[in-house]
Structure 1
Amino acid sequence: MKAVQFSQFGGPDVLQVREVADPIAAQNEVLIEVKATTVNRLDLFQRNGSRPVGNLPFTPGLEAAGVVLQDSNGFRAGERVLTTRASQARGGGGYASKLAVPATDLARIPEGVSFEQAVAAGLAASTAWGSLFDLGHLQAGERVLIWAGSSGVGSIAIQLAKHAGAWVASTASSEERIKTLKQLGADEAINHRQQSVSKILQSSGGVQLVIELVSSSLQDSIDSAAPEGRIILIGNLGGKEATVDTQSWRLKRVSVIGGGQLHTSVANEEKILRLIAEKAVQPLIARVLPIEQAAEAHRLLESGDVQGKIVLTFA
């Protein structure tokens, strides 16, 4: 089978297309032919050596959408499926053309949802759902702030929160991205480089929930929260360190909950895919490239210019 791997750490050019042995599915696994995967920031960190990986050569890829190759564990050959746990599959990560995936890790893709849409939702949507509902316990009528709204997680989180009946504020760093937030349904779109997020939100009573994807903005999140608000700390796009005023934190009784990379249940992932089929939400796709251009996809993500997900496809 075909796989994109790296045998040494470095820039995007260390990614190479190789022929490797097909995985052999264990008793509890389902063999799938991968049709699409995505590029995540963790892929970049693994490739440059700043995050640990297993033995080299290493096949990146956190998620994969594809077709079941043979009947197994309740799945039928030809069924279209998604896994957001491709990095744990036999055969490597999602940059491999075949994977043996535990049946419990597979979500069925409904009619009307393409492989590209499914995988672009993928882990980003699973993390968004987990942060909003599993950890954040978002309720209809609540107010939520979602940082980095044009990112993969942020863009789907805006739509899921709106679908759940929440009032949504989100942030971006340019007027082009502000337009994207409004198109996604944000009630308040704030250019955080030009405006004070916390002043704008506190003037209207604050928010009950914050999805914090930047980390360096944690003080702004505390200031934006209403008393007894919840902050779900998911990402650190702005760096892993933040200085906060503990006085404002404790007096407001704000809860800060570490989330990191989240997986909601497979059942919830299938709910998200059905929402996509119903066109209630749509993943934001920046580019679709063939797997052979994985190095170019890494360069694009590192540039910081893309909005949404970069999808890689297998012919």
Structure 2
Amino acid sequence: MKAVQVSQFGGPEVLQIQEVADPSPAPNEVLIEVKATTVNRLDLFQRDGSRPVKLPFTPGLEAAGVVLQEGNGFRAGERVLTTRASQARGGGGYASRLAVPAADLARIPEGVSFEQAVAAGLASSTAWGSLFDLGHLQSGERVLIWAGSSGVGSIAIQLARHAGARVITTASSEERANALRQLGAEEVINHRQQNVGKVLQETGGVQLVIELVSATLQESIEAAAADGRIILIGNLGGKEATVDTQAWRLKRVSVIGGGQLHTSIANEEKVLQLIAEKAIQPLIAHVLPVEQAAKAHRLLESGEPQGKIVLTFA
């Protein structure tokens, strides 16, 4: 089979297409032919060695594809998604075949393309987990979602709005702000021009914050209402933050570490069904053949994409 492999740490040029042996599925696994995967920031960190993994390795956290052999409750030809491709036999999602535990597969409904499914993938699993599994978001509550143009942020905006919440998010330009309003954001704050915490403090605060930047934790505490919840998911702005513990404790704000979350397979299938019903849509910035994985990494490193970068197998 074909796989993109990294044999040495470095820049995007170390991503090389290789011919490798097909994986042999264990009794509890399902063999799938991968049709699409995505590029995530963790792929970049693993490739350049800042989060080293054992070499050689195949990147890719998620994969959408077709079941090749009947077994474990799946029929040949069924379309499936896994958000745990990095743990599959055969490598990560940049491989053309994977042997995936049946318990890690979600079924893709009719009307949802492989590209849409995988672009939702781990981003929507993390968004659902942070909003509902950890954040316990309720209809009518106000939620601040940082980095609305990111994969997790853009899906979280739509899921929160669908659940009846009032959504505030952040953007770096008016162009991006307009796109986020179309996704359902009630208010978009330009974080380069305004202090997000102070703006929201003046309007009564929010009950839930999905913190995707980390360096902005103090602003999140300021933005939170009394007894608010902050779910600390990402560190797009760096892993360190200085906070005012006085404001934190007097507001009784709960800060819950989440990191890369996986909700249940049932919830992942609910998201896919919402896409089929056109209730939400994953943002896709670029679709490239897997042979252009290096270009995809350069695009993500540039900070330019609004939405996910998808890699496809012919």
Q: Same fold (TM over 0.5)?
A: yes
Separation of aligned partners in 2, 1:92 and 1:198: 42
Q: What does the per-residue CA deviation read over 1:128-150, in whole Å, with 9 as the maximum and x for residues that have no partner? A: 00000000000001000000000
Partner of 2:32: 32
Q: Shift in Å at residue 181 of structure 1?
A: 1.1
Separation of aligned partners in 2, 1:302 and 1:173: 17
Partner of 2:217: 218
Partner of 1:276: 275
SS of residue matched to 2:8: coil
Partner of 1:10: 10
Question: Does residue 288 of structure 2 align to residue 289 of structure 1?
Answer: yes
Partner of 2:87: 88
Q: Shift in Å at residue 178 of structure 1?
A: 0.9
Partner of 1:100: 99
Alignment RMSD (CA, Å): 0.5
Spell out the pairing of 1:85-164 with structure 2 (5 A cutoff). 85-164=84-163
Q: Shift in Å at residue 271 of structure 1?
A: 0.3
Partner of 1:23: 23
Q: Shift in Å at residue 204 of structure 1?
A: 1.6
Q: Shift in Å at residue 160 of structure 1?
A: 0.1
SS of residue matched to 1:256: strand
Q: Shift in Å at residue 183 of structure 1?
A: 1.3
SS of residue matched to 1:121: helix
Separation of aligned partners in 1, 2:313 and 2:45: 23
Q: What does the per-residue CA deviation read over 1:46-83, in whole Å, with 9 as the maximum and x for residues that have no partner? A: 000011213x1110000000000010100000000000
Partner of 2:169: 170
SS of residue matched to 2:179: helix
SS of residue matched to 2:44: helix
Q: Which runs of 5+ in 1 are unaligned?
A: none
SS of residue matched to 2:185: coil
Partner of 1:45: 45
Identify the range of structure 1 (198-207 vs 251-260) with the bigger mean alpha-carbon deviation: 198-207
Q: Which runs of 5+ in 2 are unaligned?
A: none
Q: Shift in Å at residue 199 of structure 1?
A: 2.1
In the alignment, is the contact (CA less than 8 A) between 2:284 and 2:307 conserved in 1? yes
Partner of 2:235: 236
SS of residue matched to 1:59: coil
Q: What does the per-residue CA deviation read over 1:153-199, in whole Å, with 9 as the maximum and x for residues that have no partner? A: 00000000000000000001112211121111100001000112122
SS of residue matched to 1:282: coil
In the alignment, is the contact (CA less than 8 A) between 2:35 and 2:313 conserved in 1? yes
In the alignment, is the contact (CA less than 8 A) between 2:127 and 2:152 conserved in 1? yes
SS of residue matched to 2:92: coil
SS of residue matched to 1:156: helix
> Between Structure 1 and Structure 2, how many residues are aligned?
314
Q: Shift in Å at residue 202 of structure 1?
A: 1.6
In the alignment, is the contact (CA less than 8 A) between 2:232 and 2:258 conserved in 1? yes
SS of residue matched to 1:51: coil
Question: Does residue 259 of structure 2 align to residue 257 of structure 1?
Answer: no
Separation of aligned partners in 1, 2:173 and 2:281: 22
TM norm structure 2: 0.99
Separation of aligned partners in 1, 2:311 and 2:79: 17
Identity of matched residues, %: 85
Deviation beyond 2 Å, 4+ runs, structure 1: none
SS of residue matched to 2:227: strand
Separation of aligned partners in 1, 2:217 and 2:176: 21
Separation of aligned partners in 2, 1:197 and 1:7: 43
In the alignment, is the contact (CA less than 8 A) between 2:198 and 2:219 conserved in 1? no
2:303 maps to amino acid = G
2:250 maps to amino acid = L
1:50 maps to amino acid = S
